[in-house]
Amino acid sequence: MAVDDVLDRLEAEGRKRRVERRAARHTPEAKEKRNRGRTQARRGYRAEKEIEARLERFGFRRVPLSGRLGGRYSGDLRREGSGVLTVLEVKRRQGGQKQLRAWLAQGGAQGLVLVPGGGDEPVAAMTLSTLERLLEEAGYLGGAGR
């Protein structure tokens, strides 16, 4: 077999593989997989904007691209008052808070403190309206700290 024949055959195989790969990228499954990350990012963005709209009067501002930048830009919402930086993460979970909401409903509680084992710091959870009320009562309106 001549060298030219081998090169022609290899070139044809390469062309065929490129066509197959290109076709595979345009299937509905591939398109859905490609868009999955974008859809989640858009949902996260909308959630951050919703929460920012509610907490803006207390001085919280959204940090654009906080998840990608990281480091000193980490945190979805930030507020600096009285020299103290408060950073909030916003998570949108469909049905992810069922257990937390059930615990909050026990006895009509407005807040929940989760005490982990192993000496880790307890975590507090409450509805956003409860947080807004507490911030308002503490005098955090207008974005200035006390």
Q: How many domains does the chain have?
A: 1
Cα separation, 120 vs 65, whole angstroms: 29
pLDDT tens digit sequence for 102-139: 888 888 889 999 998 888 999 999 999 999 999 999 88
- Predicted local confidence at residue 60, as pLDDT: 92
Cα-based distances in Å from 92 to 12, 50, 77, 95: 49, 11, 14, 9
Give 43-73 pLDDT, tens digit per residue. 889 999 999 999 999 999 998 876 666 677 7
Confidence of residue 30 (pLDDT cuts 50, 70, 90): confident
CA distance 20 to 24: 6
Q: Both tokens of residue 44?
A: 């996260």
Does this model's pTM top 0.75?
A: no
Asked if pLDDT for residue 145 goes beyond 50, the answer is no
User: pLDDT-derived band of residue 143, with 50, 70 and 90 as boundaries?
Assistant: low
Containing domain of residue 111, as a range?
3-143
Average pLDDT, the chain: 85
Q: What pLDDT is stored for residue 53 in this prediction?
A: 95
| CA 31 to centroid of chain Cα atoms | 22
